[in-house]
Amino acid sequence: MFRVGDKVCCRYHMSKEGVVTAMRQVKVTAGNVAGSFSPMWVIKFITESGEEIEMKAQDLMRAD
């Protein structure tokens, strides 16, 4: 999991690298027979070029 201040990059666009500024959980509307899924983490980070991006945590990885 990530923390505010961690350096991250996108899994599918690795040149977009930045620092985590905020984290929040979002309700998941999908479900299955066994029940509903747990909330999903959304991470907001600022790239080195100053662009602010918000992505699902599953689409990010640490850039250490």
What pLDDT, on a 0 to 100 scale, did the predictor assign at position 31?
77
| Token couple for 49 | 């070029």
pLDDT in tens, 5-22: 999 999 999 899 999 999
How confident is the model at residue 37, as a pLDDT? 84
Distance, CA of 36 to CA of 14 (rounded, Å): 32
When pLDDT is cut at 50, 70 and 90, the band that residue 30 belongs to is: confident
Domain segments of the chain as ranges: 7-62
Residues 6+ apart with CB under 8 A from 6: 19, 20, 62
Higher pLDDT, 1 or 35: 1
> pLDDT (tens digit, 9 = 90+) per residue, 35-61?
778 899 999 999 999 999 999 999 999
Distance CA 38, CA 15 (A): 30
Give, in order, the Cα–Cα distances in Å from 34 to each of 7, 12, 16, 18, 54: 36, 31, 37, 37, 30
